[in-house]
Every structure is written in structure tokens, then in C-alpha cells.
Amino acid sequence: MFLKKLCEFDCVSGNEKAVRDYIRNEIYQYADEIVIDSIGNLIVKRTGVSSKKTVMLDAHTDEVGFIISGITDKGFLEFKTVGGIDTRVIISKRVRVGKNKIPGVIGIKAIHLLEKSERNEVPKIKSLYIDIGASSKEEAEKYVELGDYAAFDTEYEDLTDDLIKAKAIDDRAGCAILMELIKEKPKYDTYFCFSAQEEVGLRGAKIAVNRIKPDIALAIEATTSSDVAPSEEKDYVIRLGNGAAVSFADGATIASEEFYKKLLSVAEEEGIKAQTKAAITGGNDAGAIHLAQGGIKCATISVPCRYIHSPAGIASKADIDSVKQLAGAFLRRIDEFY
Amino acid sequence: MKELIRKLSELRGISGSEYRISDEIINQFKAVSDEVYKDNLGNVIAVKKCKKGNAPRIMIEAHMDEIGLMVRDIDENGFIGFVNIGGVDGRILPGGEVIIHGLRDVKGVIGAKPPHLQTADEAKTALKMSDMVIDTGLTSEQIREIVSVGDTITVKGDFRELLSDNVTGKSLDDRAGIAALIKTFEMISGKELNADIYAVAAVCEEVGGRGAAVAGYSIKPDIAIAIDVTHGVTPDNSKNGFELGSGVAIAKGPNLHPLVVDRLLGIAKEKDIKYTIEVEGGDTGTDAWILQVVDEGIPTALLSIPLRYMHTTVETLNIKDAEAISKLLAEFCLRIDDNMEEWLCF
């Protein structure tokens, strides 16, 4: 129920305030302690039945996007990307700029004007710009300041009964799951950490974990679902609709073997659909968490998402529910995970 | 004008499938025309009669089709391969949204191989259209019940208002031209005319001016004026374009009848209508090129609206430029008099 609203916030890394405020207001009633730290992490403590152990659940609030780095004399906006974005998915797309969500577009030279050699070229980010229709630099400056962020302008929509299309499913899906899980009183003191700046290098989680000092941590993420036609089936590391994706390793973390295996066996016992993420690429907050404080036992459960980091991702509501069920089982059966 | 352009831009009909949108265009014309009809090819023709014998005929024309895609195949996982209809730049498609017009409309996203499965070389090269697919989230069985090979596909490109009377959307090429025609008819309504005015919303411009050729033949106008878009100035196109807001681009060159052009220029100056001159050495790439040599030949002019990012989902233009076209066209139509044959002679 939170997901649509969450995906509609434009909160690129470093600009998480709006979504953070929304989350805080929605879950305030369940919190025993709330901290917003210097980087913008929202750390919400729910006191457990016992305080013998400390548990951390992590999801990140930020999304990939753009930051305005210049305004040309004619009023076009120069920009840099924030987080990993494939230049090819931003051409001919709509964006919203700044806190007033000024509509803009990322255009491209018309096909009629291209040299033959240009047709197969991916333009460089440096040569692209955002057009807000300003007639001059002066007019643009009335609406946009350098350092303003821009995000994809995408509508959240149901594609089928089960599938949704939206931007920022990575990781608002994780945020939505944490917002549901906090409603149940946990066995041990549990910190629900809504981390900032994951997309620019796991920056928020890196410091949140030092404040929380958990005994065990679980990152709730969205991950690339590669079951799309131009890839070969052998590269289908994750499939949409096959349930919660449990990683044994990615580019930043080798998960505790006993932890992820336990997650898989709990999923099986509880009849929760789960799959292993069979690729060692990408990285998420677990990468920062497991190396902190002399080492913390950490694993990741992810929502499969096709076309992640693009204007229009696709995810399954059933998968999101599976991730929520599995993370919930983790909290309920926490003693089995030590 | 803005609302009309929004409405027309949001209609969905690629070259050959204009029947999907022609009813709405007929509706828009009905209130301001004496007669509206559709010809055998699907052109919508609206007429304003002067009710005088042997009156000259003036044809003002814009095209209603848009570029788009067509279903080529459906694979065992339900992914849809496609081809382009008209000049689509494949580079604008990845990450974009589309609507497939099957038995019912189905939404989809154009996906591609995820970045982490691509080689470094692949990431530097634009994706080929043949390597892209449309993902509807439906299974092969489900999609085959709704969608067949040959069904048309339109790109999504929601209309947005930008600053300074600029707007962005899909198919502003050439629905903004259609809007200008409707507004022209509105402006000449109730005024005395000395000519019958034919406004044509033509089919199949994007695949070669086919609708205009047929409409020109059946109407046999004394003068034809095509309304289309021309390239706008952008940082990556400073030399081949016109500034948004600079008014009507009045074309000159072998495609255009110099005396019709002179008359348009004279009216623009006199009525203080903003304009610039666009020079084309040969083919203007518009219906004007076709109309000039229809039947025994038609004196033809071309008025264009500057437009950024032509043939993308974020086409951008200035409302005032479209309004300037209507003003100029209306004035031109109202001033047709008994001397026309005279001033039109070389």
C-alpha cells in the first residue's frame, strides 16, 4: 500500500528528505526511538521483547537520477548522472527538475540531421542536456539552481494483475517492506534503517551500521531481473515471479553461507517462494554493513526488478510479498539465525 | 490552442492506421466547417464554402499520421519483437513505454539486455531495433490472445507544459499542424470568403506523402499550403534550425511558388505576424513536395512550426508559433479575391 506513494517521490541520492519525511510520518507510531543522522539516514528503533541482541534491517531511500551542473546561455540545463545509469535509457525521456518538479525532457538531435556514423553511436552524457523550455539563461535561473536534482518522470501503473511499472522500485520496494515489518513487535531490539546514498557507494549504510552496532543485519533490496529476451536463458540469473531473491554473493559481498542457506530453508519450510541470485555482479548496502565493526553477519533478500535504474522498471507484487514474508520469518525466527 | 494540441497529440494512429483517430479529428472540425468527409484513403477533408459560383479553391493541409512501430513476432516468453513504420531513431526506444494496439490496448516497456550482462563494447554501441523487445509482463499465451503480428504500436510520450509557452509531447509532428488548421477555420468562421477553403488532415505523410497526393488530386485546389514542423535550434543543432518562439517558418525554394510565398510574406509583415524564412534547395521533405506536382501542378507553399527533437517522444514546440500559423493562414484565406488569377500569374 505504501509502494505507489514511495515510488512517486523524486529523491535522488543526497536528496532523500521528502521520502524520509513521508516514511517517518507513516511509521512514527511504531517507533521507540528515531534518529536522522548527518547523512540523512532515517534510523527507527523498535524495542524488542528482549534487548539481548540487536538486529538491523536495511533498505535505501535514494534512487538514481541527475544533478544540474550548468545552465547554457540559451537556458538548457547541463547535468551529471547520480548513480549508475545507462546513457541509452535516458534519451528522449521526461524528467522533473528540482523541488518544484519543473518538467523537462532529455532530447536528441533529430534522426534527419544525423550523419550515418552517428546513428549507431551512444551520445556522451556531456553532450546531452535537459530542456525545460526556458527562453534564456535568466528565465531558467528563475526556476532552477545549480545542484538541483532531477528524476525520471514516470507514472506508477499496474501492468497486469501482478506486475507494476514504476521508477525507483530500487529500493522503494525495500522501504515499503520495512514499513510493514515494523508494525509487529520484534523479539529483539530491531533497527529499521532507511539508508541514504546507496546508489553512490553505500554511503548511508556505512555510517548507520556504526551507530546501530547490530549483531546481525539483513538488507532488503531490489535487484536486476535479467529474464528478458535479448539475454540468453543461461543469463537469466533472476526471474520475475519466482519469488524472493536470496544472494550468496554479489560484487560487494560474499554473504555468510550459513545465513543465506538458512534463509532458503526457512523459505522452503514456510512455503515462501524464493530463488537464489546466481550472479556475482552489482552490490548493495550489505557490502558496507558486513565489513563494519569488525565484521557483521549480513545477507540480502531482493525483489526482482526488470529494467532497474531505467525510467520504467517492472516488478511483481507477489515477489514483493514473498520478500516481506521471508524477512518477517527472519525476524520471528531470529534465534535460528545466530 | 494548447488544449487542442494536447488533445490531438494524445491521439494514437500511425501511418496506415489513421482510422483510429480520424473520428476525433472529424469531431473537432465539425463545429467550424460546412462539411467534413473522409476520402477513400482516409484523409479527413473539412470544407468552408463561400457559396459563390466558380470560386477558387484553397487547400490548407497538415498530416495526421505519426511514426510508430509494428509487431514483428512474439516469442515463447511473450516478448514482442517489432519493426518501425516511418523514421524512428532506435536510440530513443530503450527504457521507453509503448502501447500495443491489439484487440485491446496493452501497455509495455521496451527492454534490452541488462547492463551487467553486456560487454564493454556493447555498452558503447546503440542498440539495434532488432535486439530490442517489448515487455508487457504477459505470458506468450496471454499476449497471443490479444496481440497479433502486424498490430500497430505507438510510443508513449505524455504531454507536458514547459516554460515560456513551450510544450512537449509525442506526435506534435504534425498534430500541431492539424490544430493550426482547426484554429484557422475557427478564425474565418462567420467572415466573408471569396474562395472555398479545404482543410485536409492527410494520412501517410511519414511514409511518403501518399495522403496529400490523393487529396490534392480530388480537390484540385488553385493554391495548396502545407503545414508541417521544421527543426528547432538545440545545443547539438545550432545551424540547421529555428528558435522556438521565432514564429512561422515560411519556406522558399524550388518547391514553393514564389508568388504565393511573396503574398504570405506581405501579409505577415503587414499584420505583424512573427516569421522567419526557411530555405530549402530541393525536397522539403513535406507534403508540399508532393502537392506541387499533383495532377497538372499546384502552386504550393509551406509553413512550418519550429520543433525540437523531431521524431522522438519529447518533441517540443512553442504554442505561439502554432498560433502565428493560424493567423497567417486565416488572413491569407480571407484575402483571396477576384484578382487571384492575376497575381498568381508569372
Tens of pLDDT, residues A62-95: 999 999 999 999 999 999 999 989 899 999 999 9
- Enclosing domain of residue A214: 3-63+167-337
- pLDDT for res B21: 96
Q: Chain centroid to CA B187: how far?
A: 21
Give the end of a domain, one of B132, B155, B178.
B155
Window B:64-93, CB contacts with A under 8 Å: 75, 77, 79, 81, 87-89, 91-92
Give the confidence band of A231 by pLDDT, cuts at 50, 70, 90: low
Q: Are B103 and B242 members of one domain?
A: no
pTM: 0.89
Q: Which of A81-85, A116-120, A330-334, B113-117 has the lowest mean pLDDT?
A: B113-117
- pLDDT for res A280: 63
B195 found inside a domain: yes
- pLDDT for res A230: 64
Q: Are B189 and B111 members of one domain?
A: no
Give the end of a domain, one of A106, A121, A152.
A152
A157: chain B residues, CB-CB within 8 Å: 107
A84: chain B residues, CB-CB within 8 Å: 115
The model's pLDDT over B73-130, given as tens digits with 9 standing for 90+, comes to 999 999 999 999 999 999 999 999 999 999 999 999 998 766 666 777 777 788 889 8
Give the end of a domain, one of A117, A152, A187.
A152
Give the end of a domain, one of B130, B155, B180.
B155
Give the end of a domain, one of A89, A122, A152.
A152
Has residue B131 got a pLDDT over 90? no
Q: Are B25 and B108 members of one domain?
A: no
B143 found inside a domain: yes
d(CA A272, CA A327) in angstroms, rounded, equals 10
Residue B84 and residue B69 in contact, taking contact as beta carbons nearer than 8 Å: yes
Interval B45-66 mean pLDDT: 95
A109: chain B residues, CB-CB within 8 Å: 234, 236-237, 309
B162 found inside a domain: no
Query: How far B284 CA sits from the closest chain A CA (Å)?
Result: 12
Judged by a CB distance cut-off of 8 A, whether residue B116 touches chain A is yes
**How many domains is chain B built from?**
2
Give the confidence band of A287 by pLDDT, cuts at 50, 70, 90: confident
Residue B267 and residue B335 in contact, taking contact as beta carbons nearer than 8 Å: yes
- Residue A338: count of CB within 10 angstroms of its CB: 10
All cell numbers assigned to A203: 554511503
The model's pLDDT over B205-259, given as tens digits with 9 standing for 90+, comes to 999 889 999 999 999 999 999 999 999 999 988 877 999 999 999 999 999 999 9
Q: Are B201 and B285 members of one domain?
A: yes
B161 found inside a domain: no
Residue of A nearest to B98 (CA): A312
Q: Where are the alpha helices (DSSP H) in chain B?
A: 2-9, 19-30, 120-124, 140-146, 172-188, 210-219, 258-270, 287-291, 319-334, 340-343
Q: Are A32 and A128 members of one domain?
A: no
- Among candidate residues A16, A63, A198, A221, the one labeled active-site is A198
d(CA B65, CA B202) in angstroms, rounded, equals 7
The model's pLDDT over A254-269, given as tens digits with 9 standing for 90+, comes to 878 889 999 999 999 9
- Decide if A89 and B126 are in contact by the 8 Å CB cutoff: no
Q: Chain centroid to CA A224: how far?
A: 11
A159 found inside a domain: no
Q: Are A142 and A291 members of one domain?
A: no
3-state secondary structure of B2: helix
Window B:7-26, CB contacts with A under 8 Å: none
- pLDDT for res B239: 79
Q: Are B270 and B186 members of one domain?
A: yes
B236: chain A residues, CB-CB within 8 Å: 108-109, 127
Domain of A117, CATH number, reads: 2.40.30.40
B303 found inside a domain: yes
B183 found inside a domain: yes
- Decide if A143 and B163 are in contact by the 8 Å CB cutoff: yes
- pLDDT for res B58: 97
Largest CA distance in chain B: 72
- Enclosing domain of residue B17: 2-66+170-343
Q: Are B284 and B142 members of one domain?
A: no
Has residue A243 got a pLDDT over 90? yes
B164 found inside a domain: no
Interval A8-37 mean pLDDT: 96
Q: Are B174 and B305 members of one domain?
A: yes
B92 found inside a domain: yes
The model's pLDDT over B293-325, given as tens digits with 9 standing for 90+, comes to 999 899 999 999 999 999 999 999 999 999 999
Share of chain A above pLDDT 70, in %: 96
Give the end of a domain, one of B155, B179, B213.
B155
Judged by a CB distance cut-off of 8 A, whether residue B134 touches chain A is no
Q: Which helix (H) or strand (E) holds B304?
A: strand B300-308
Distances from the Cα of B274 to the Cαs of A25, B161, B162, B231, in angstroms?
Answer: 53, 22, 21, 17
Residue of A nearest to B318 (CA): A133
Q: Are A233 and A292 members of one domain?
A: yes
Interval A198-211 mean pLDDT: 93
d(CA A157, CA B80) in angstroms, rounded, equals 20
B219: Cβ contacts below 8 Å, ≥ 6 apart: B45, B57, B59, B198, B200
Residue of A nearest to B314 (CA): A92
Domain of A221, CATH number, reads: 3.40.630.10
Residue of A nearest to B162 (CA): A133
Active site residue A198: yes
Q: Are A182 and A264 members of one domain?
A: yes
Give the confidence band of A235 by pLDDT, cuts at 50, 70, 90: low
Domain of B110, CATH number, reads: 2.40.30.40
Q: What value does the mean pLDDT of chain B take?
A: 94
Q: Which helix (H) or strand (E) holds A329?
A: helix A317-332
Q: Are A42 and A84 members of one domain?
A: no
B88: chain A residues, CB-CB within 8 Å: 111
**How many domains is chain A built from?**
2
Distances from the Cα of B203 to the Cαs of B29, B161, B218, B298, in angstroms?
Answer: 16, 27, 14, 19
Interface probe, candidates A85, A108, A170, A224, chain B, greatest B C-beta count within 10 A: A108
